[in-house]
Every structure is written in structure tokens, then in C-alpha cells.
Amino acid sequence: MSEPTAIEILVQDPWFLVVHKPVDLLTQAIETLPSLQSRLADQLSAPGLPKPFIGMPHRLDRMTSGTVVVARNQRSLRRLCDQFATRTVVKEYLAWVSGLVPKEGAWVDTMRKVPDEPRAEIASIDQVHARDATLEYRVIQQRTNSHNQPESLLLIRLGTGRMHQIRLQCGSRGFPILGDRLYGSQNTWGPEGQTYREPPIALHAYRLTFHHPKSAEKIAALALPPPNFPWGNPSDLSLATRD
């Protein structure tokens, strides 16, 4: 069995790392399953020394690639978790969706996790566990696929971080993320001839902005989407920034 590809480290600091999580990898898992956390612990281990501390203040779904900040000590983990809890971390995603989406906008919904099921749904405010969900987006590219169907590439800035939030808010408006059959997509996504544990979807955690857990310096890190997926021109994607 071949060795797994090394995890790309985008920013390296004594207090934290920012890494590029690949597709088809859990962020955290039990010891018997591969995960970003265990892969990094192995990758950064030194012979004869205990494995390094790898703390995960947030997660990405298995089939979502992109930027993840990793704590390197307990104090850093606590302070980074506080930033996510108070929504001071700016999380920006790229998503290819079906349809022609209006140029820009803000989406506000009430949603909840469906009890005993691994999916979310739009809910009324009085339903149990219903919570607000907000995001802003703008269209940065549009194209027509091989079936003459329009597709839009969105740059999304999350206001909240609910389970499957982007997937549900896009799908419920008739703009499902490509490959996301759970929320209405009829299109496949990703390179042909490659097998995955779950079908890939066109969602990528593009940029993460937070404050250094010790100095409070503003840190911004971005990762371009995987080159073997049909994201478009990387030089165009690198301009998809916003203040």
C-alpha cells in the first residue's frame, strides 16, 4: 500500500498551522479511520519523540477540500475555538452550482438538523433546534456545461456555520452544488475514473481569516481548489478576494 500524500501546509507557526485538507478525508475520526488530524500527527512526528499536539478547532466535511486551521497547543486550541464560537473567524468558500444565480446577494434562512438523519432542512422558527443561517455571496464566473446547462461559481462568505448550511441554502433555492445529490444536484463532479468513499461535491473552503492565538495579529490564508477538479482557471480564482 502506497504512502499517503503529504498534507500541504499553507502557514506554519509555533502556535498553529493552516493546512489544505484534501478531498475524501475526514477532519477528525476514531483511531482506526484516516483523518486530517492523524495524518498531520504522523507527518510532523520526529523519531523517538511523542506525537505532536494537533488540535482541531473546526471541521470540514469529508468531501470538502480547503483551508483548515490547526492548533499546536492547548492554549491555542482554546483561543481559536473561542474565535469560531464568537464568529470572529471569516470563512469564505467557492461553490459551483447549477443555474444562473443573481450577481450578488445575502441569504437568510431558519434551518435545523433533521433528527436521526445526516442532513439538514429549512425549518420554521418555532421548530425544535431551529437556528438562523446567514451568508453573503457574489458570482465570480458563469459557464455552460456539456449538456448546455448554465452553472455559476459563487464566492460565499458565511455569517453562521450550521451543518450543511451552504449546501442547503443553495439547494433550497434551486441552485444545488454540483454533485450534491443530497440537496438536489443531478450533475456529477470530479475527475472520471477515480473512486471515492462519497460522491465529490463542488465546495471548497477557499480562504480563512482569523487572529493569531497569541499576538492577535490578523492572519489570512487561502488555498486554490484541487487542480484535478474542473474549477476553472486558477489565475482567475486567485482574484476571488474581498475585504
Q: What is the pLDDT of residues 120-146, one digit of tens each?
A: 999 999 999 999 999 999 999 999 998
Q: Which three cell numbers stand for residue 131?
A: 437556528
- On whether residue 112 sits in a domain, the answer given is yes
| Residue 191 pLDDT | 87
Torsion angle, alpha carbons of 119, 125, 126, 127, to 10: 0
Residue 177: CB atoms within 10 A of its CB come to 27
Task: Report yes or no on 120 lying in a domain.
Answer: yes
pLDDT tens string 48-90: 889 999 999 999 999 999 999 999 999 999 999 999 999 999 9
List the domain range (segments joined by +) for residue 92.
8-226
User: For residue 6, what pLDDT is reported?
Assistant: 95
Q: Pull the grid cell for residue 96.
A: 459551483
Please give the pLDDT value at position 238. 60
Q: Name the catalytic one among 13, 24, 42, 61.
A: 61
Q: Which three cell numbers stand for residue 26?
A: 475526514
Q: Is 163 exposed, middle or buried (0-12, 13-18, 19+ CB in 10 A)?
A: middle
CA distances from 197 to 5, 24, 35, 121, 149 (A): 17, 7, 13, 24, 27
State residue 241's pLDDT score: 56
Euclidean distance between CA atoms 178 and 2, whole angstroms: 30
Answer yes or no: is 242 within a domain: no
- Active site includes 61? yes
As a dihedral over the C-alpha atoms of residue 113, residue 116, residue 118, residue 121, rounded to 10 degrees, the angle is -30
Q: What are the φ and ψ backbone dihedral angles of 161, each rounded to 5 degrees?
A: -130, 70
Nearest to 133 by CA among 162, 104, 102, 153: 162
d(CA 189, CA 203): 10
φ/ψ region of 114 (left if φ > 0, alpha if ψ in -120 to 50, else beta) reads: beta
* DSSP designation for 18: E
pLDDT at 61: 92
Counted domains in the chain:
1
User: Is residue 232 assigned to a domain?
Assistant: no
Residue (of 235, 179, 187, 232) closest to 203 by Cα position: 179
Give pLDDT, residue 225: 94
Quick check: is 196 in a domain?
yes
Residue 233, in any domain of the structure: no
Q: For residues 5 and 21, give the distance between their C-alpha atoms in angstroms, rounded to a whole number.
A: 11
Q: Which residues of 27-60 are buried (b: 16+ CB within 10 A; e: fewer)?
A: beeeeeeebbbbbbebebeeeeeeeeebbbbbbb
| CATH for 31 | 3.30.2350.10
Low-confidence residues of the chain: pLDDT under 50: 1
